[in-house]
């Protein structure tokens, strides 16, 4: 794989005012802009969002940094970033319900 960027997978759990502020919609838009694939979904606690994405590691690093801030209107109190092995599981980026 010489010459190619390393592929990776990242899971980010974002907590704060992240539901009802278009966080998922904006997360999907940012993922599409960066060319990473995966999903975003609200967690049942009412104050957290889970993001799972795969792609080239530099793009995922930029995406994880964006998730730590979120879109305008979001108030991120905490963002836990977990790096995982690449699985080549996704073909697009979805909002899951």
Query: DSSP character for 36?
Result: -
What pLDDT does 4 receive? 58
Strands (E), 1-97: 7-17, 37-42, 48-56, 75-84, 93-96
- What HEC string does 50-63 produce? EEEEEEEHHHHHHH
Q: Is residue 1 part of a domain?
A: no
> How many separate domains does the chain show?
1
Crossing angle between the packed helical segments 23-34 and 57-69, to the nearest 10 degrees: 160
* Helix, strand or coil, per DSSP, at residue 92: coil
Full-model pTM:
0.93
CATH number of the domain encompassing residue 55: 3.30.70.100
| Residues noted as catalytic | 24, 42
Q: Per residue in 47-95, pLDDT tens?
A: 999 999 999 999 999 999 999 999 999 999 999 999 999 999 999 999 9
């Amino acid at each position: 794989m010489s010459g190619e960027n390393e592929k990776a997978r990242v899971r980010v759990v974002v907590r704060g005012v992240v539901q009802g502020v278009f966080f998922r919609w904006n997360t999907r838009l940012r993922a599409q802009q960066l060319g990473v694939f995966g999903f975003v979904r609200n967690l049942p606690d009412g104050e957290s969002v889970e993001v799972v994405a795969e792609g080239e590691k530099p793009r995922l690093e930029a995406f994880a940094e964006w998730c730590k801030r979120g879109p305008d209107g979001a108030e991120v109190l905490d963002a836990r970033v977990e790096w995982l092995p690449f699985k080549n599981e996704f073909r697009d980026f979805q909002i899951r319900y």
